[in-house]
Chain A
Amino acid sequence: METVNKSPLAFDLASLKGPERLALQVKQVSVRYGGELVLNHVDLDVRRGEILSLIGPNGAGKSTFFKVALGLIEPAAGEIVFGEGFSRETTGYVPQMAALDRNMPFSVMELLTLNLPKQRFWFSGTAQRKAALAKLELLDGGHLARRGLHELSGGEFQKVMIAYSLLRNPKMLILDEPSTGVDHEGTHMLERLICHLRNEESLTILMASHDLHLVQLVSDRVCCLNREVCAVGGAGDVLHGHYLKEFYALGGRDFRARA
């Protein structure tokens, strides 16, 4: 995982046809909070093995979209259909960093063991602890295991959360704002990690981010969401299209130059 590398997948995408190519179908989903329409007839397909990024302003419904997909919120209308081999149980979730109070007195290992299946007390289960540690080591995070959550940098914390989400061997990962609160170096690590997970572990990745630099570097496709789907397509097309100016008022700044 040294270099950012969008190599072809382990399996041949082109050989799959129609619905078989899909990991997740979101069909005409609407969500209301109180009287407010937060998602309005959202249609989106997530293809197997792709990295699909959601971009859009704050309050655009990106987190809500994820929560609907994960079954945390019941949509007012529409449905969520998982592709063959995909399900809620095989979907890993990394929520926004701010949604977890890192001052809680938990160690990294304690957090990880909370996602181990079929275990009520985490004082036992040496084999499972080893499995958790192995997952962390896979992401070059073995040295973090004994630290307290409050001792982690933003990047290290996201690495731990990704290790956490991998413990149930998911086929798809949902990452909500993975680079928010992460420094430059940490973001660089996340870029490599996300590409590694897709390329080497064949994971499908659905991500929301404000970090257009990260989005540009890792995404296959980008969806512009602002309560409804405004644009969806190849990363380059969407990121350089006119849509973005509406949201971010970028004044023609070129992302490629930064990349």
Chain B
Amino acid sequence: MRNTLVSATILGPTCAFLGVFVTLRGMAFFSDALAHAAVTGVALGYLCQDLLQWELNPMLFVFIFSMLLATLMAYLFERTKLRPDTIIAFSFTGSVALGYVIISALGKYRLIDAILFGSIYSNSSQDILIQLLLAVGVAGILLWNLKAYALGILQPDLARVQGIKLERLNYLFALVIAATVTICLKMLGALLLSALIVIPPAASRLAVGNFKQLLLLAPVVGLLAAISGVLTSYTLNSPTGPTIVLVNVAVLLVFLVFKAAKDKR
């Protein structure tokens, strides 16, 4: 349980901080798609192990496949007139289908549950080290480019006239999402992962008046929700990933009620 709590302490705020940008940019569904694509990544990883005897970490495949899919979607956004949500929908259903076909061919049905809903119990100290690196990387990249990302969210042309290379930064952002998804997969699983990214900033936004407050509050909400999720799951003996998500949803409901009460006054 100690390792699980440490992971929640690291990943909760990291995902929430990333989520501020994801939600404001309208990329919640995009990150959800990358999370789902992880199914295929894991499947490809095991396929290579079985066929080629490569003893590579399946997480590497998850990351590479997420990046490939992100690149493909970005290409389709720009080059076709299809709506982004349409492109995302067929990209991720397609990759989940492919992943499941491969997994059944390999006969590894037991894996499915862990991929979809997380398996936080298999959390080693090496995992925690990687999670720490992720947290530092995400915070570093986003803070270093904070001004550029903020301006890109508000008005891309105003960023471009300052000479900010938005296309490069957008690609870097997709890379950050893919890395986060890959590393959080173990804790929450492909189906539930984006809750950790989307819910804390969504709840926080109901309570704050400006961007600075949002950047400060979202990680706090993410941290508290993740820790209480882990503790609740131990108390109730319920699955950890889904319990963390349920606590997040409960927090969101509390913020919604407060917001409604405040608006009434």
Contact = CB atoms under 8 A, between A and B. Distances in A.
A88 interface: yes
Interface string B96-127: 00000000000000000000000000000000
B209 A88 contact: no
Nearest to A107: B210
B222 to A, nearest CB: 17
B151 interface: yes
B157 A120 contact: no
Contacts of A104: 24, 153-154, 211
Interface stretch (B4-12, B54-62, B87-95, B140-148): B140-148
Contacts of A111: 154
B36 interface: no
Contacts of B155: 95, 99-100
Given A99-B155, A123-B212, A72 B147 contact: no
Interface stretch (B64-72, B158-166, B228-236): B158-166
Given A107-B209, A107-B211, A115-B162, A121 B146 contact: yes
Nearest to B145: A120
Interface residues of B, number: 24
A119 B210 contact: no
A220 interface: no
A70 B161 CA distance: 7
Given A72-B160, A93-B157, A148-B209, A105 B150 contact: no
Nearest to A117: B162
Contacts of B145: 120
Contacts of A122: 146-147
Contacts of A123: 212
Contacts of A18: none
A243 B124 CA distance: 76
B154 A121 contact: no
A123 B146 CA distance: 11
Contacts of B208: 105
Interface in A109-133: 110-111, 114-115, 119-123
B37 interface: no
Nearest to B153: A104
Interface residues of A, number: 26
B211 A110 contact: yes
B15 interface: no
A148 B210 contact: yes
A105 B210 contact: yes
Contact of A88 (B150, B157, B161, B213): B161
A200 B38 CA distance: 60
Contacts of A240: none
A106 interface: yes
A110 B146 CA distance: 12
Interface in A221-240: none
A120 B145 CA distance: 7
18 contacts: A67-B157, A72-B160, A88-B161, A95-B157, A95-B158, A99-B157, A100-B158, A105-B213, A105-B214, A106-B154, A110-B212, A114-B147, A114-B150, A114-B154, A119-B147, A120-B144, A120-B145, A164-B158
Given A122-B147, A148-B210, 14 more contacts: A72-B157, A91-B161, A93-B161, A100-B155, A101-B154, A105-B24, A106-B210, A107-B209, A110-B150, A110-B212, A114-B151, A115-B162, A120-B146, A164-B158
